[in-house]
Chain A
Amino acid sequence: MFQLTADLDSQPACLHMSGALTIYEVRDAHAALLDVLLRQPPRDWQLDLAGLEEVDSAGVQLLLAVQRHQQRANVGLSLCNPAESVIELFQLLRLQSLYPAVVAS
């Protein structure tokens, strides 16, 4: 199960993700993200991954696509609170552009 809740009042606006983001969930997740991102005018977003227990390369691809979407509109995207296993995946694929902290560790 993937769940997305948007918190538009925080600074920057925050998207809380929870559940899993794997090949089984990406279709739903993609629809949910589009629903939020395309409804709003371009703005900075923070993705709170605290609730995400599992991510695979399909999930990573979706996150990269969101990042590019933000870059094209010239607005920011940052990720926070990834779980241990998610950090390991970012580390493995050296996704410092997505989550700069992996370079340090």
Chain B
Amino acid sequence: MFHTIALAGNPNTGKSTLFNLLTGLKQHTGNWPGKTVLRAEGELKTEKHVYKVIDLPGTYSLYSNSADEEVARDYIIFEKPDITLVVVDATSLERNLNIALQVLEMTDRAVLCVNLIDEARKRGIHIDKEALSKQLGIPVVLISAREKIGIIQLLKTIDRMIEGKLITKGYKIKYSPQIEKKIKELESEIKQIFGDIFPARWIALRILDGDKKLLESLKAYIQNQQFSSEKHPSAQGGCCHGV
């Protein structure tokens, strides 16, 4: 069975270099349905497992600011990759961790790949991966996709995560009491509609932020689901979305 891995991160963090390294020549490219955004997917074989790797568009965040961001966000929310690799630039972690925190609000199944570690070392930047991992609650791997550093470690981490040997508990930002109260209120309503298929806390936050496009996506999803379950009950592709 295929497991899926999504690559997310800022532009110019070497995401695609890593993607090429992981998948080699086994790639398919095309567009995301209805969008002029490049979609690249490929196959990765480790010693024990086979993965489908999807290179999401490079974005600074995962809100609905652009088609790219929507594609990346919708993929993580609706397609639920088994693992999301958040690729960040070791030389400007501060800005890059923004998207890492956003991914963690959506899923716990993430690994932080601190890329360009060779470049950071050259500049005298030291990254305390244990501390980072502890704070974020997910595995952190220091890599250089260009120099092929840390890749074996990364593959091992992915395998262990898929096998359930790595328990992650992603860091969730605590907001002000006022916002937290609203989140709680919305969360229970969201759970009534969707059960546990979507991260209720994250959806509550998006609603509080006034994200209308997400509501549209959710609406489309509900209609689509009902449509497809009526049309062909548990037809092909029924690996995810267990309701």
Chains A and B bind each other: no
